[in-house]
């Protein structure tokens, strides 16, 4: 998470949406750069609302704009599946080594997900809090140009993004049957993504 006081801007870090590269590029310029622990670095809207918003509204401004990035849902799960193929996870419960993408997505669609498929939810991460606190501007991961244009204009600086925290390169192919199940069971993910202008 990044906070820019003068720009009155908060950038939430949705996992697997390129925010590590954004943080590396802009973190040194931010007034607050939450890097650890992961539960705070990747604070969803409800955690931002509970722990950060009251402090920021008191000491920075009551009208901060909160932005985030969302990735196309199949691509998002594909990135998680590939990321958990890393050799350093071999033998751990969250490793996807030896698990096909269809099996991973099928496990993700279960009520109780096994550890290897327990990766959270973008729509849940971005869900507005009960008091109305919400992301005020949402960008598509696939439209980096719109995000960078917005940030450069808002922050008054050029931005060059590197590639960081990149998942291993692998073919990600989902069968039509499993994709239909994913779209049906996790419709909120697809509906939210489709709502982004």
Beta strands in 25-114 (DSSP E): 32-33, 65-70
Q: What are the angstrom distances between the C-alpha of 95 and each of 90, 124, 192? A: 6, 23, 28
- Give the closest residue to 122 by CA, choosing from 182, 50, 168, 32: 182
pTM: 0.93
| Alpha carbon distance 138, 130 (integer Å) | 19
The single-letter DSSP state of residue 70 is E
β strands within 35-193, DSSP E:
65-70, 137-140
Tell me the two tokens of residue 184: 């049906």
- Residue 84, classified by CB atoms within 10 Å of its CB into exposed (0-12), middle (13-18) or buried (19+), is buried
pLDDT tens, per residue, the chain with 197 residues: 999 999 999 999 999 999 999 999 999 999 999 999 999 999 999 999 999 999 999 999 888 999 999 999 999 999 999 999 999 999 999 999 999 999 999 999 998 999 999 999 999 999 999 999 999 999 999 999 999 999 999 999 999 888 766 677 788 899 999 999 999 999 999 999 999 99
Question: What does the alpha-carbon distance between residue 53 and residue 132 come to, in Å, rounded to a whole number?
Answer: 12
Strand partners, 138: 68
Give CA–CA dist 114/190, Å, rounded.
22
CA–CA gap between residue 137 and residue 65 (Å, rounded): 8
Strand order in the sheet with 137-140: 32-33, 2-4, 9-11, 65-70, 137-140
The domain ranges of the chain are 2-194
Whether domain 2-194 has CATH 3.40.50: the reply is yes
- The per-residue pLDDT for 161 is 85
Phi-psi region of 98 (alpha: psi -120 to 50; beta: other; left: phi over 0): left
């Amino acid at each position: 998470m990044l906070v820019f006081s003068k720009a009155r801007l908060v950038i939430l870090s949705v996992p697997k949406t390129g925010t590590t590269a954004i943080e590396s590029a802009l973190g040194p310029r931010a007034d607050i750069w939450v890097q650890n622990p992961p539960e705070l670095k990747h604070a969803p809207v409800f955690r931002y609302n509970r722990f950060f918003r009251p402090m920021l509204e008191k000491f920075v401004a009551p009208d901060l704009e909160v932005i985030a990035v969302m990735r196309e849902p199949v691509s998002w799960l594909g990135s998680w599946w590939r990321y958990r193929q890393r050799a350093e996870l071999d033998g751990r419960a969250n490793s996807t080594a030896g698990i096909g993408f269809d099996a991973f997505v099928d496990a993700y669609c279960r009520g109780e997900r096994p550890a290897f498929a327990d990766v959270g939810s973008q729509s849940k991460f971005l869900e507005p809090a009960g008091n109305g606190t919400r992301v005020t501007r949402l960008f598509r991961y696939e439209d980096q140009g719109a995000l960078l244009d917005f940030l450069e204009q808002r922050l008054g600086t050029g931005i060059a993004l590197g590639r960081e925290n990149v998942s291993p390169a692998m073919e990600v192919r989902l069968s039509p049957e499993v994709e239909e199940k994913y779209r049906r069971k996790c419709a909120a993910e697809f509906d939210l993504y489709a709502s982004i202008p």
